[in-house]
Amino acid sequence: MKEQTTIVPATDARRAGNLVSDVAKPQPERHGIVVSWASHLDEVRAAQRLRHEVFAGEMGARLNTPIAGHDIDLFDNYCEHLLVRDESTQQVIGTYRVLTPVQAKRVGSTYSDTEFDLTRLRTMRDRMVELGRSCVHPDHRHGGVIMALWGALAEFMVRNQLDTMIGCASIPMMHNGVVSGDLAASIWRQVKETHLAPIEYHVRPRLPLPIERLDSSLNVEPPALIKGYLRLGAKVLGAPAWDPDFNSADLPMLMRIADLPLRYRKHFLGA
């Protein structure tokens, strides 16, 4: 999961995959932020530094990385990297990485495959992208940054005739100063009642969170990012996996462009 390999540069990946994520210049957004796709290594490194700051510095993740202060793994150079910058400082304050179907075939899997058995999603893979490593700088966690990221992602999907997004949505294992899975177990109990996908799309965790040994009765809300995904029409594909490196429980999630509520379709796509 945290390995090095010989990889294809992302700029070459776009040409080979006939993608058009770089057709437009960086676009200024409201609140003094600019959204763009990384086009050279320095921009990718800036995203990896932000990820390290959030995941290792803030969340306590144990990262096996070849460059100190950067979160780098096997999948990075196969991915497109979406960036949000502060317009005044040009600092990267938000990021996502996107693994397209063409590049998933080249690397041999998605990151989600390392955490879940995705056999039941095999018919979707040709038009399915994986979203991952999403994070926002702690000084900029307002709606503008995440909405800008989501708007660019929706445009990317439509432009490249892709219709399905998957990913692992993380729930911290720390709750009230204690490391346990009770928070994740309680959130899983809630979302499976309201947002569970049909059984034909269920996936199985490779390292399951031991739900049966945890307290799932806590009255807690899902993290903001998960709540946002659910508002966008996302479905949960099954029980959470335990990711000991990132000190989190990960929910497998799937979202389709066709399932976007009308108000979000109008907001992101103007349709």
- Mean pLDDT by groups of 10 residues along the chain of 271 residues: 28 39 45 92 98 91 92 96 96 97 97 97 97 94 89 94 96 76 95 96 97 93 92 97 92 95 88 67
Name residues whose C-beta falls within 8 Å of residue 112's C-beta, 6 or more positions apart in sequence. Answer: 118, 130, 132, 166, 167, 168, 252
Residue 44 lies in a domain: yes
Residue 2 lies in a domain: no
The whole-angstrom separation of Cα 158 and Cα 163 is 7
The confidence score (pLDDT) of residue 144 equals 87
Provide the whole-model pTM: 0.87
Closest CA to 112 of 268, 16, 255, 210: 255
The confidence score (pLDDT) of residue 41 equals 97
Q: Could you tell me whether strands 128-136 and 164-172 are parallel, antiparallel, or unpaired per DSSP bridges?
A: parallel
The whole-angstrom separation of Cα 75 and Cα 103 is 9
The confidence score (pLDDT) of residue 31 equals 60
Residue 1 lies in a domain: no
Q: Could you tell me whether strands 178-179 and 174-175 are parallel, antiparallel, or unpaired per DSSP bridges?
A: antiparallel
Residue 264: which domain range? 10-269
Kindly list the distances between the CA atom of residue 189 and the CA atoms of 81, 194, 199, 219, in Å, as whole numbers in the listed order: 33, 9, 16, 11
CATH number where 135 lies: 3.40.630.30
Number of domains in the chain: 1
Residue 4 lies in a domain: no
Residue 74 lies in a domain: yes
Name residues whose C-beta falls within 8 Å of residue 189's C-beta, 6 or more positions apart in sequence. Answer: 216, 217
Residue 5 lies in a domain: no
Residue 214 lies in a domain: yes
Residue 208 lies in a domain: yes
